[in-house]
Amino acid sequence: MAFTNLEELAAHCADCQKCELGKTRTKLVFGTGNPNADLMFIGEAPGEQEDLTGTPFVGRAGQLLDKYLYAVDIDRKDVYIANILKCRPPQNRDPLPAEEDACIDYLREQVKLIRPKIIVCLGRISAMRLIKEDFKITKEHGTWFEKGGYLMTAVFHPAALLRDPRRKEDMLEDMKRIKEKLDELGGKA
Ligand code: URA
């Protein structure tokens, strides 16, 4: 696969049937934001609202993410947001390894085209897939890793913060550090 831009890649995966989720999705959720973003967020998989609209992080978790972006002075339209899976798993169950395997090359191509300075994994599933298999979100959130030439970190998934608001202070601290790092690197957001 060699694509010259995100539109070409999006068109390529629009009718994807590489896994069973192709049969149950309403809309494929490709990703959204600035194609030249310095900062990229990668979540787990679309939920109900994302499946209906075709846009990542627009439901309750997405609205909470928006609040953190606002709090640290990051403009959502300057970043790029995508997920490990492009289609919603039924009842929002965790992605199956076979679904991740079927989908992950699309994300790899997206990252190659965007070339962000920083990648932020939203939650454990994304961090375990992209940073390391045994990633422990409670211990390792906010820690910096370098992988494949990208600077990466993970924060709590906003849906997890809705379930357990005690993590909200940690989330704010992590987001502040991400913004600081981006500024240090001369990135825009
Ligand atoms: N949760 C995710 O991980 N991704 C979305 O797009 C929405 C909710």
Distance of CA 23 to the CA centre of its chain: 23
CA 93 to centroid of ligand 1, rounded, Å:
12
CA 152 to centroid of ligand 1, rounded, Å:
19
CA 148 to centroid of ligand 1, rounded, Å:
24
Q: Is the pLDDT of residue 1 over 70?
A: no
Position 42 scores a pLDDT of: 99
Q: What is the pLDDT of residues 93-136, one digit of tens each?
A: 999 999 999 999 999 999 999 999 999 999 999 999 999 999 99
Spell out the residues 6+ positions from residue 33 whose beta carbon is closer than 8 angstroms to its own.
40, 76, 77, 78, 79, 80, 81
pTM of structure: 0.97
**Is the beta carbon of 50 within 6 A of some atom in ligand 1?**
yes
Whole-number Å distance between alpha carbons of 1 and 57: 27
Whole-number Å distance between alpha carbons of 61 and 162: 7
Q: Which of 29, 39, 30 has its CA nearest to residue 75? A: 39
**Is the beta carbon of 65 within 6 A of some atom in ligand 1?**
no
Beta bridge partners of 43: 83
Question: What's the average model confidence in pLDDT over 2-15?
Answer: 96
Helix, strand, or coil (residue 100):
helix
Domain layout of the chain by residue ranges: 6-184
Q: What is the pLDDT of residues 50-98, one digit of tens each?
A: 999 999 999 999 999 999 999 999 999 999 999 999 999 999 999 999 9
Position 62 scores a pLDDT of: 98
Q: What is the pLDDT of residues 146-187, one digit of tens each?
A: 999 999 999 999 999 999 999 999 999 999 999 999 999 999
In the chain, DSSP assigns E strands to: 32-33, 39-43, 80-83, 118-122, 145-147, 150-155
**Is the beta carbon of 99 within 6 A of some atom in ligand 1?**
no
> What are the CA-CA distances from residue 133 to residues 29, 30, 69, 108, 176 (Å)?
24, 24, 27, 17, 26
Number of the ligand 1 atom closest to the C-alpha atom of 83:
4
CA 36 to centroid of ligand 1, rounded, Å:
21
**Domain 6-184, CATH among 3.40.50.2300, 3.40.50.720, 3.40.470.10, 3.30.450.90:** 3.40.470.10
